[in-house]
Chains A and B, each alone.
Chain A
Amino acid sequence: MTDVSLQQLSRRFGDNVAVRELNLDIASGEMVAFLGPSGCGKTTTLRMITGLLQPSSGDVLFNGKSVVDIPTERRGAVMVFQKHLLFPTMNVAQNVGFGLKMAGVDKKEINRRVTEILELVELPELETRKAHELSGGQQQRVALARALVVKPQVLLLDEPLANLDANLRITMRQLIRDIQSEMGITAIFVTHDQEEAVMLADRVALMFDGVLQQVGEPDAFYQRPRTTRVAQFFRNSNLLPGVKTGTMVETEVGPIELDDHVSADDGPVVLTVRPEEVRIADSSSAATNVVPAVIKSVIYMGTHTQLIADIGGSSWSVQAPATMTSEEGARIEFQLPKKHLWIVEDDSVSAAEEVAAS
């Protein structure tokens, strides 16, 4: 049982700041995902937790004690990479038993625990196989078993569900969650795939450009994104600027009424509603928050129809029923449900400036 605390953690490579003053507390037995595009500093953060990389400043604490001076091999933070999973010259049993052998556990005990853990990951009777004789999914489970068998303080995973097809993803997710909660292991993984993050993690920590953007339970990133960039990373680029007064926002396309739970200062704001929450207005729908729009494209996606529409000069994406038929240039009315309306901080300008400055 280990809780992990990252305090003002920073890492520079020359002039380039890979991770900037990151603060995060991870509870014992929790599973946290570091999410972000490649180069956002998530892998650097993970490597600092393992000790493979020293922080430029800041601290990493396990159970309240600093571990930055403890070398990787004695830190008990075990890493499972996504590529080059298994030691190629060893068989499955030797791979899984590696950590125990390093810890000086005697052979009988190693054999017993290896057999036990291979059953747990549902791979019994494969002890003598070599790595290249296993499928990708089997290799991934052996790598997981190899990490778990040493009862690590912290389990670190690099894109644990990448390279798996949709069905295997669900199975693997279940396996990881079951074992992790059964053994009460604190787990941290990195991924660039928001689906992978929300499927597996208790909490998600989203990073851009080395800076932590938002930390929270997976649904927060869909329902309550902090900024426009966060919303966009979670595939929501529906933005509508306006001026807020109380619970009303005056926009290009008329007044929009907000729910009480949306708190923001009065003044200029940016409204958003996720593509799957926007309704197509008909005679029976409520009269509030109905906005006019012009269809720009209609894409049939099988399970639904994706509409790209212009609302007051902004391009919106709307997920309509698969049976919906429409055509380019058609005028339509959307209803923005009160409970799904949210205000985001507009950081797209500052992001553009950052790019220009660098």
Chain B
Amino acid sequence: MTTDTKPSEAEATPQPYVDLTDKDSAGTRWVRRIAVTSIVVFIGLPMVTLIVWSFAFRWNFPNMLPTEWGGKAWAYVADDSSRVFEGLWNSTKLAFLVTLMAIIVGLPASRALGQHEFRGKSTIEWLLMMPIIVPALVATMGIHQIFIRLRLTETLFGVALVHLIPAIPYFVLVMASVFANYGTALEETARTLGANKIRVFRYVTFPAISSGLLVASMFTFLISWGQYVTTLLIGGGSFVTLPLVLFPFLSGANHANAAAISLVFVAPAVIVLIMTSRQLGRDSSVMGGFGKI
């Protein structure tokens, strides 16, 4: 809290975040224009190209647009033989399972890292970063041997466990910073006011961390959604996710099919981005953990 002057001064309330909708200075306006332009150029335009490609039937150099249009690629996507829907269903199940597991494992861990000091804390933080530093391929090769013995290969649960490895660092970093920012005083206040631990979590902790939890969960979801190598190795090719369906097309000649599948693949990411953008803007503590990377 900032130093207070008079109780009547409502203006003294600190602004929790930078509100870009306020009247901006010329400098802020320019920053916003550049940001918006960058998003359009780097994210919007490639999407437009993909959409055009997915409806193209004949599109040869040097034509600016396809010379013949058609829905053949989309018909292929809808066909069972393409395994797109199977992949979509598996990817969705998998991403939800990974997210759930990340919450179960990561929430207590991030709370400990965010709110407590203990021996070996920096070592644990360093170990947590390892999956980001060490290529997933290396770790997964080793895990593969163990999973064969444990009969976890080619199973949904086995693949989900491996997806947890790259997902946990992001989940824990985001949530640890949320917990650190939120502190323990509010929970202790609630305890002294007569709330037991369960009610403290329900009425105080959960509402306070929920927006951060939403963002961390969506990161986890997207990390699982984008996994290719780990899924291929542990799933053994028989557990088909969307990236597994998509990747062969990327090196193939059929650009229209690749574009259509890519659009199916990228759709959840766009939806998640739109849903979380408001939370990211509002709660600056959510992004705080990334300062550590």
A residues sitting closer than 8 Å to B (CB atoms) are 50, 52, 71-75, 77-81, 83-85, 87-90, 98-99, 102-103, 132-139, 141, 143, 146-147, 150, 156, 163-165, 167-168
Contacts and interface: CB of A to CB of B under 8 A. Distances in A.
Given A89-B208, A138-B7, A52 B13 contact: no
B2 interface: yes
Contacts of B2: 136, 163
B120 interface: no
Contacts of A135: 4-10, 12-13
A81 B4 contact: no
A163 B3 contact: yes
B4 A102 contact: no
A137 B193 contact: no
A87 B186 contact: yes
B1 to A, nearest CB: 5
Given A73-B196, A78-B192, A84-B186, A163 B4 contact: yes
B13 A133 contact: yes
B3 A133 contact: no
Interface stretch (B63-71, B96-104, B168-176, B199-207): B199-207
A102 B208 contact: no
A132 B194 contact: no
A83 B184 CA distance: 10
B79 interface: no
Given A89-B207, A135-B5, A137-B6, 18 more contacts: A71-B196, A73-B196, A75-B192, A77-B192, A81-B189, A84-B189, A102-B199, A132-B16, A133-B10, A134-B13, A135-B4, A136-B1, A136-B3, A136-B4, A137-B4, A139-B1, A165-B5, A168-B4
Contacts of A102: 190, 193-195, 199
A73 B185 contact: no
Given A89-B207, A132-B13, A135-B13, A79 B4 contact: no
B7 A137 contact: yes
The 10 A-B pairs of least Cβ separation, nearest first, read A136-B4, A99-B193, A102-B194, A89-B207, A137-B7, A84-B185, A79-B192, A81-B185, A72-B191, A102-B195
Contacts of A147: 193
A80 B4 contact: no
Contact of A165 (B4, B188, B189, B190): B4
A81 B79 CA distance: 62
A136 to B, nearest CB: 3
A16 to B, nearest CB: 13
Given A83-B185, A137-B7, A138-B7, A150 B193 contact: yes
A32 B91 CA distance: 62
A165 B14 CA distance: 17
A79 B8 contact: no
A87 B207 CA distance: 9
A143 B186 CA distance: 11
Nearest to B14: A132
Residue from A50, A83, A138, A168 having most chain B Cβ neighbours under 10 A: A138
A50 B203 CA distance: 20
Nearest to B8: A135
Interface string B112-156: 000000000000000000000000000000000000000000000
Contacts of B195: 73, 98, 102
B288 interface: no
A83 B4 CA distance: 13
Interface string B11-26: 0111010000000000
Contact of B4 (A88, A89, A98, A164): A164
30 contacts: A52-B188, A71-B196, A73-B191, A73-B192, A73-B194, A73-B196, A74-B194, A83-B183, A84-B189, A87-B203, A98-B193, A99-B194, A102-B193, A102-B195, A103-B194, A132-B13, A132-B16, A133-B10, A133-B13, A135-B6, A135-B7, A135-B12, A137-B4, A137-B6, A150-B193, A150-B194, A156-B192, A163-B4, A165-B5, A168-B6
B177 to A, nearest CB: 16
Contacts of B14: 132
A89 B182 CA distance: 12
A98 B183 contact: no
A190 to B, nearest CB: 14
A141 B8 CA distance: 13
A81 B199 CA distance: 20
A146 B193 CA distance: 8
A80 B185 CA distance: 9
A73 B203 CA distance: 14
Contact of A72 (B10, B192, B204): B192
A98 B196 CA distance: 12
Given A135-B9, A135-B13, A165-B4, A52 B185 contact: no
Interface string B261-284: 000000000000000000000000
A240 to B, nearest CB: 39
A88 B193 contact: no
A102 B188 CA distance: 14
